[in-house]
Each structure stands twice: as C-alpha cells, then as structure tokens.
Amino acid sequence: MTRLLTVLAIVLITISQAKIELDSEVSKPKKKAEKTKPKEEATAEKKAESIVKDVQPNKEDTLFRPGYKGDKPDEVEFAMHLKKFLGFEEHERRFGCDMVLSLKWTDKRAIQMIPEGAKTAVMPSAEAKKKIWMPDMKITNQALSGGSQVVSSMVEVYQDGTVSKVERITARIYADMGGRRAFPFDKKHVQVRIASATLMLDGLKLVPSKEGVETGSDAFIGAPFNYKSGTLREFEEVDGLLRKSRGELDILLARATAPYVFSIIVPTILMTSISWGAFFIPIAVPPYLMPRIACTLVTFLALLTHAIKIESSWGGEGDTWMDAVQNAATIVVFSTVLLNVFVLTVEKWVDTDMAAKMDSELRKFLPCVCLLVGTLCFFITSDALIPMLAMAIRLTLLCAIIGYFAFCMIRIKNFEKKD
C-alpha cells in the first residue's frame, strides 16, 4: 500500500512539472512579441518623422508666388458653381448663396508634398497653407453684415505641379440689382466677384474656367426669381495704386411673375370690372339708385386700399410698370363714378331715354377702353419704355373719357334745342 501511494505521488509530480514547462514555452513568444512591438512602433514613428522632414518647404515656397522671379504674373484658373440661393433682400440690395469656388494653378515646388508611390496629395486647406503657396482668394463684394463662411475646403496636388483648391462657401453678397421699373416683369443681373487679397495685377491674373457655369437643379426652388443664364469673366480694375485682376460670376435672373399676377394684377382687373356693373343696374327704378352709387364708390375705395397695400409691400421707384397699371385702374374707376353721377343727372333733369342710351353705350365703351389700355400694358414691359407707357396710358384714358363727356354734352345741347 505504501509503495502504491509512492508511485501515485511520483506520477502527479511528473505531470505538474511537465505542465509548468509547457506554460513557460507558450509564454516565451508573447514576451518576445511584446519586446519587439515597441521597437517596430518606434521605427515607424521615426520613418514618419523623416517623411515629414523631407516635405518641409522653404519659407519662400509659402510666402512667394511660383513665378516671383519672372516678369509675368501667375495665372489662376477659377470657376464658380451655384448650389443654392439662400434668399433675397431687395431693399438692402443683398442676396445669400451657397456656392463652390474652384481654383487651379501650377506650382512645381508643391510636387514634394506628394508621398512616395502616390499620384496626388490631398490635404485640408489650413494645413496646405503652411506648406505651399496659396493665392488667398476672397469674395470682394460680400455684404458688410453677414459676410461669408467657408463650409469645407481642400487642396489637391498633382504630379505635374498642378494645384487645385475647392471650397464650399455660404455668403451674403451685395449686388446692384438695378431698378424695378418693369416690376413684375423685370430682370436682374447679380454678380459674385473674387480677387486675391494680397497680390496685385502684376503678380496674379485670373483666368475663367472653360467648364462654364453650373447651377444646382433645385437652386431656385422657392425663390422669387428664375435662373436664365450665367457667365464667368475676368476684368482688370484700377483705383489709384490699387490694381487688381478680378473674377466675376454674372447671373441673369427673371422675376417669377405668376405670384404677382394672381395677388396684384388679377384683383385690380376684377375691381375695375365690378365698377362697370353700375351701368347694368336699371336706372328708372328708384330702389336701384343707391346700389348704382355704392357699386362705383365702394369699388373706388377698395382699389385705393389695394394700391396702398401694394405700395407698402414692395415700395415704389417712380414710374414703374405696376404704377402705370394702378394709375390706369384708378382713372377708369374714378371716371366710372363720375359717369354714373352724370347719367343719373341726365335721367333726372334731361331725358330718361337718353340716360338709358348712355347706360347702354358705357357698357361697351368702358370695357373697350380698358382692353386697349391692358393691351398696351402687357405688350410694353421693357425698362426703357415704361415712362412712355405711363404717358400713353394717361393720354389714352383722358382723351377717351373727356371725349365721351364732350360728346354727351353736345348731344344734350342738341336735345334742348329740339325741345
């Protein structure tokens, strides 16, 4: 029994020693890997540091333009792509936009920024500005309040030395949109201008991109204007010692007329037409006397209120197309008031049959005059012809109304002679 226990103890001791040796052999590679890992990381860090040191530029590479030793200015190709219009402030002559500004120039010194084995180097603009020269482009006609904000910006360097910079910018732009003489059929030219904030004309020249102008498909959804066309151009501007090459995106916009037609023009036409209703009310029946007078006077007051509301909402600028239309409607409705009183006077003091005949004539005369004036208004919408249109409308209406009064007075005198 003692021998059996001794054998079992020896077997257990042997097994435990074998297990300890196996665990030690397994743990040796792990410790070796742990020892070698810091060495590998240190090697990689040293290699990265050496790469960064290799691409550290000279100070002149970031401070001076590529061709500063030559006589010719460096050319920077530019393009501006409109993504979204962010609202108009016509009274302040400002508009907001979301746009993409693309710049492209050549700088052989920037090739060193491309890592070995790579075709291009892409980096944030803030980081690129520390290592390569940048043209420092700014929007020069941004509004004083609001200004512009860079949403995203990146720089890409190619193996041939071409450097491309793309920025997405939201900006509030000041633009001389011109007058609103042809409102609501007016067209506007708005511009976005850029220039270098540091270089003059002899150091940098902008060149429009051949890609043309692009606008997003939803750029003008909900805007009061529709996009017509856009052009890129470069022009030189000299103001004393300030000599700049400027790039410009010129956008032609046409006002969306439908909302104004239904909110302004249609109510004006309806109120003018209602005023003619007085001449369809029987003249010989006393109970209808007050409705005839009320129909014309109430319409005239409603038209004046409508005109005041229009004036306060968009503001007048002298003789505009809308002013011409409102003046024409006012003259017609006021003439209707006077003609109605005139007809009632003839019915009371001259002859009932003559008054009835005048009623019948005015039912045709006033619509014809209004049709003639309306044709003039909708065929003449050019800015340059608006003053002529306003004068033509006033002369046409005054001649027609005064002429009809004169004709009726002659007829009354002839009637009195016969009597």
User: Model confidence over 360-387: pLDDT tens digits?
Assistant: 999 999 999 999 999 998 888 888 888 8
Q: Which of 221, 236, 255 is the last residue of a domain?
A: 255
Residue 50 lies in a domain: no
The proportion of the chain whose per-residue pLDDT surpasses 90, expressed as a percent, equals: 29
pLDDT for 220 equals 80
pLDDT for 47 equals 44
How would you classify the pairing of strands 148-158 and 94-106? unpaired
In which band, very low, low, confident or very high, does the pLDDT at 3 lie, cut at 50, 70 and 90?
low
User: Does 13 or 129 have the greater pLDDT score?
Assistant: 129
Residue 21 lies in a domain: no
In which band, very low, low, confident or very high, does the pLDDT at 31 lie, cut at 50, 70 and 90?
very low
248 and 263 share one domain:
no
Question: If you average pLDDT over residues 243-252, what whole number do you get?
Answer: 91
236 and 304 share one domain:
no
pLDDT for 60 equals 61
127 and 273 share one domain:
no
Q: Which of 231, 255, 279 is the last residue of a domain?
A: 255
Provide the residue type at 75 as one letter: E
192 and 225 share one domain:
yes
Cα(382)–Cα(261) distance, integer angstroms: 17
pLDDT for 288 equals 74
In which band, very low, low, confident or very high, does the pLDDT at 26 lie, cut at 50, 70 and 90?
very low
Whether 240 shows a pLDDT value over 50: the answer reads yes
Residue 34 lies in a domain: no
274 and 248 share one domain:
no
pLDDT for 169 equals 92
In which band, very low, low, confident or very high, does the pLDDT at 223 lie, cut at 50, 70 and 90?
confident
pLDDT for 253 equals 87
Q: What is the pLDDT of residues 257-278, one digit of tens each?
A: 888 888 889 999 999 999 988 8
Q: Which two tokens stand for residue 385?
A: 């012809």
84 neighbors 218 (Cβ within 8 angstroms): yes
Whether 43 shows a pLDDT value over 80: the answer reads no
* Mean pLDDT score across all residues of the chain: 81
pLDDT for 113 equals 87
Residue 390 lies in a domain: yes
- Of the candidates 100, 153, 151, the one whose C-alpha atom is nearest the C-alpha of residue 123 is 153
Residue 20 lies in a domain: no
Whether 38 shows a pLDDT value over 60: the answer reads no
Supply the range of the domain harboring residue 156.
60-255
Q: Count structural domains, the chain.
A: 2
Q: Which two tokens stand for residue 409?
A: 């007075």
Q: What is the pLDDT of residues 160-192, one digit of tens each?
A: 999 999 999 999 888 877 677 888 888 888 889
Question: If you average pLDDT over residues 63-81, what whole number do you get?
Answer: 87
173 and 231 share one domain:
yes
Residue 51 lies in a domain: no
124 and 245 share one domain:
yes
Question: If you average pLDDT over residues 60-85, what whole number do you get?
Answer: 84
CATH code (residue 392): 1.20.58.390
pLDDT for 37 equals 43
217 and 279 share one domain:
no
Q: Which of 214, 229, 255 is the last residue of a domain?
A: 255
Range of weakest confidence among 122-126, 352-356, 366-370, 414-418:
414-418
323 and 223 share one domain:
no
What's this model's pTM, rounded to 2 decimal places?
0.71
292 and 184 share one domain:
no
216 and 314 share one domain:
no
Q: What is the pLDDT of residues 282-309, one digit of tens each?
A: 876 667 778 888 888 999 999 999 888 8
pLDDT for 28 equals 47
pLDDT for 417 equals 78
Question: If you average pLDDT over residues 329-345, what whole number do you get?
Answer: 91
In which band, very low, low, confident or very high, does the pLDDT at 217 lie, cut at 50, 70 and 90?
low
Contacts of 303 (CB under 8 A, 6+ apart): 268, 271, 272, 329, 330, 333
Whether 402 shows a pLDDT value over 50: the answer reads yes
244 and 281 share one domain:
no
pLDDT for 218 equals 74
CATH code (residue 165): 2.70.170.10
Residue 247 lies in a domain: yes
Residue 394 lies in a domain: yes
